[in-house]
Amino acid sequence: MSDTPRRLWQPTRPLAHWGRAALRFVFPPSCPLCQADVENHADDSGCPPVSPLLCGRCLIDVSKPRGNRCQRCGLPVGPYVRSDHGCPKCESHKFRFQKVIRLGLYDDALRQACIRAKATTQFPLAAALANLLWLSEQFDLQTANVDVVAPVPCHWTRRMLRPHHAAETISRVLAGRLGKPLQRRLLRKKRLTSDQSDLPAAQRRLNLKDAFAVRSHPRSLAGKTVLLVDDILTTGTTANECTRTLLHAGAKQVFVAVIAVVP
């Protein structure tokens, strides 16, 4: 009996392909940043298309040469700096996560794109930036060998005011590319805190102390590697507190993936 539905659906695949092609012809995909037409990267393999994407001009604007970066915090470092365990800028912070995997630095066009991607209607832009992160850092994302993908959560009151949560959109894209389960409610923010960007660095850690909790039973995290996803990493305090919570709940290690790191 289990084979019957599969046989019945097989002949519809060409129809579905032509339907998608016709839809792209009538409504060509557009760049979520400037609305210019974009070539869709769908293929006939049955794999999810790498879409949405930015147009060529916007891609050049937000992308910069990869350069040397710290293996721990993602900030730029000199060509001869060994940063396996941190760089001079971050080694005193005692980050609990293994590594920051990022697309670029939070400046110029990428900064503007990240700000726009937070808006309620801009989930296509957040998804496009996530796809760009995947295309740029696919090797590091795959070699992290994560078991589960989870976004940095926001407090439920802010979720009511802003239904679109950029970190969740980005994590959904990365989970799909990696073929790993997305647990968007793995972490919860149990108390409302002041905006980190409004606080001096010395107060940010205290602001987030014990602000996060794991929703699931600790056994579900035992020995697992988590990819923690956010849109922007400023000082690393939020990612570090989330990592502390995950490790305390039994996770083996945590990698952090973000669109941009604040220089």
Give a three-class secondary structure readout of the chain: CCHHHHHHHCCHHHHHHHHHHHHHHHCCCECCCCCCECCCCCCCCCCCCCCCCCCHHHHHHHCCCCCCECCCCCCECCCCCCCCCCCCCCCCCCCCCCEEEEEEECCHHHHHHHHHHCCCCCHHHHHHHHHHHHHHHHHHHHHCCCCEEEECCCCHHHHHHCCCCHHHHHHHHHHHHHCCCECCCCEEECCCCCCHHHCCHHHHHHHHCCCEEECCCHHHHCCCEEEEEEEEECCCHHHHHHHHHHHHCCCCEEEEEEEEECC
Q: Tell whether 39 and 75 lie within a shared domain.
A: no
Q: Tell whether 191 and 89 lie within a shared domain.
A: yes
Q: Tell whether 108 and 23 lie within a shared domain.
A: no
Q: Tell whether 51 and 67 lie within a shared domain.
A: no
Range of the domain at 36: 1-55
Q: Which of 39, 55, 71 lies at the terminal end of a domain, its last residue?
A: 55
CA distance 175 to 103: 16
Q: Tell whether 41 and 109 lie within a shared domain.
A: no
pLDDT at position 239, please? 94
Closest CA to 152 of 231, 234, 224: 231
CATH number of the domain bearing residue 89:
3.40.50
Q: Tell whether 213 and 83 lie within a shared domain.
A: yes
pTM over 0.85: no
Q: Tell whether 35 and 152 lie within a shared domain.
A: no
- Give me the number of domains the chain comprises: 2
Q: Which residue numbers in the chain have pLDDT < 70?
A: 1-28, 39-50, 159-160, 193-207, 216-219
In the numeric block, the tokens 């647990």 are attached to: 183
Phi and psi of 193, rounded to 5°?
-120, 165
Report CA-CA distances (Å) from 257 to 37, 39, 105, 230.
28, 26, 13, 7
Q: Tell whether 43 and 149 lie within a shared domain.
A: no
Q: Tell whether 49 and 96 lie within a shared domain.
A: no
The count of other CB atoms within 10 Å of the CB of residue 1 is: 4
pLDDT at position 30, please? 84
Q: Tell whether 120 and 228 lie within a shared domain.
A: yes
Q: Tell whether 115 and 185 lie within a shared domain.
A: yes
Q: Tell whether 46 and 70 lie within a shared domain.
A: no
Contact, 49 vs 41, CB < 8 A? yes
